[in-house]
């Protein structure tokens, strides 16, 4: 079992930065891939970024590539999402997710989810 708790969301002006954190409980977290997904009002949940268990392989949605960076610290059981050059369209609830084995862009393959943290980008 893995429990995930996100933090770091908030209100930021367009062009600004935020760093989201995801604290994971449970053993052998390095065996789990992690991902960040987001859901804007009235829209479906969408993939943002993913990282493999060892932290050596990352994937990004085209919409965030070059602006967001996913990373992890397995010694601390933490996953991060550094978000730079934020845009109005980045406004959403951001969810941390984990799955055993390889990473994926597909939300339904992730077994464990956090409660979400709100990110609001203002003009």
Residues 66-84 have pLDDT tens digits of 999 999 999 999 999 999 9
Kindly give the pairing relationship between strand 3-7 and strand 18-25: antiparallel
Strands 78-83 and 18-25: antiparallel
- The pLDDT score that the predictor gives to residue 107 is 96
Instruction: Write down the mean pLDDT value for the chain.
Output: 97
Please choose, from the candidates 33, 22, 25, 5, the residue with its C-alpha nearest in 3D space to the C-alpha of residue 98: 33
Whether residue 98 is predicted with pLDDT greater than 90 in this model: the reply is yes
40-69: pLDDT as tens digits: 999 999 999 999 999 999 999 999 999 999
Taking 90 as the threshold, does the pLDDT of residue 123 lie above it? Answer: yes
Q: What pLDDT was estimated at residue 27? A: 80
As beta bridge partners, residue 23 has 5, 78
CB 84 within 8 Å of CB 20:
no
Contact 79, 70 (CB under 8 A): yes
Please compute the mean of the pLDDT values over residues 32-47 and round it to a whole number. Answer: 97
Banded model confidence at residue 113, pLDDT cuts 50, 70, 90: very high
> Tokens 């010694």 appear where?
75
Helix (H, G, I), strand (E, B) or coil at 69: strand
């Amino acid at each position: 079992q893995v429990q995930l708790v996100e933090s770091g969301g908030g209100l930021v002006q367009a062009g600004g930065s935020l760093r989201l954190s995801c604290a994971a409980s449970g053993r052998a977290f390095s065996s789990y891939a992690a991902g960040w997904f987001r859901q804007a009002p009235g829209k479906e949940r969408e993939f943002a970024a993913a990282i493999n268990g060892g932290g050596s392989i990352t994937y990004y949605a085209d919409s965030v590539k070059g602006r967001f960076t996913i990373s992890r610290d397995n010694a601390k059981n933490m996953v991060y999402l550094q978000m730079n050059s934020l845009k109005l369209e980045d406004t959403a609830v951001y969810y941390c997710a984990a799955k055993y084995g390889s990473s994926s862009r597909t939300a339904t393959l992730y077994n464990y989810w956090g409660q979400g943290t709100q990110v609001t980008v203002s003009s």
